[in-house]
Amino acid sequence: MIFKDIIGNEKNKELLKRIIDTNNIAHSYMFVGKESIGKLLFAKEFAKAILCLNQEKPCYKCKSCIEFDSYNNPDFIILQPEENSIKIDQIRELTKKVYEKPVVSNKKVYIINDSDCMTKEAQNCLLKTLEEPPEYVTIILIASSENLFLPTIKSRCTKIQFKNLTKEELAEVLKQKYNYTNVSEITFNIAQRKRK
Ligand SMILES: [Zn+2]
């Protein structure tokens, strides 16, 4: 099941699953919300599902899914900031590749992480692709704030807002990530001892 290992933002899971199920995939999305709440995890799983070659997306076993999981899928790229910003050269490189047809899948997905640190020049360069994307491409911009984007970029993207995690969800994340149960057991033991 898609998003089964991701904690929180249940509404967005439903929304993105519906997009996959109905194959109603837009060319550009903006995932907006505070840092460290799972936006990149959501984007990767969504990308994997878009690229999957089977009916049940993602199937975790087709060529596209396997190559995705081993960071080898040629139809998928994550762009990261270099020295705290995403520069025009990086976007130029990306937009050049956008026009090369998909190799493994029928689609291509690009994630631009921390895209709110794109320079104005980089944004203007990206805008051309957002205005006339090849039909097989989907671009996901991940950002903690919308404020630094050109209005023309924002208007081209389908916005998906992510909420902060609840205390319970956060505890669950810690448990998964750092095996936090053990820590709480230790704390519990100490508390018990103190009481005696
Ligand atoms: Zn698959």
Domains of the chain: residue spans and CATH: 10-164 (3.40.50.300), 166-196 (no CATH)
Taking only the tens of pLDDT, the chain with its 196 residues reads 889 889 999 999 999 999 999 999 999 999 999 998 999 999 999 999 999 999 999 999 999 999 999 999 999 999 999 999 999 999 999 999 999 999 999 999 999 999 999 999 999 999 999 999 999 999 999 999 999 999 999 999 999 999 999 989 988 888 887 775 555 554 555 555 554 4
The angle, 0 to 180 degrees and rounded to 10, between the axes of the packed helices 88-98 and 120-131 is 10
Distance 59 CA to ligand 1 centre (A): 4
pTM beyond 0.85: the answer is yes
Distance 154 CA to ligand 1 centre (A): 31
How many CB atoms are located within 10 Å of the residue 190 CB? 10
Secondary structure of the chain in HEC code, one letter for each residue? CCCCCCCCCHHHHHHHHHHHHCCCCCCEEEEECCCCCCHHHHHHHHHHHHHCCCCCCCCCCCHHHHHHHCCCCCCEEEECCECCEECHHHHHHHHHHHCCCCCCCCCEEEEECCHHHECHHHHHHHHHHHHCCCCCEEEEEEECCCCCCCHHHHHHCEEEECCCCCHHHHHHHHHHHHCHHHHHHHHHHHHHHHHC
Q: Which protein residues have a CB closer than 5 Å to ligand 1 (ion)?
A: 52, 54, 58-59, 62, 65
Distance 48 CA to ligand 1 centre (A): 7
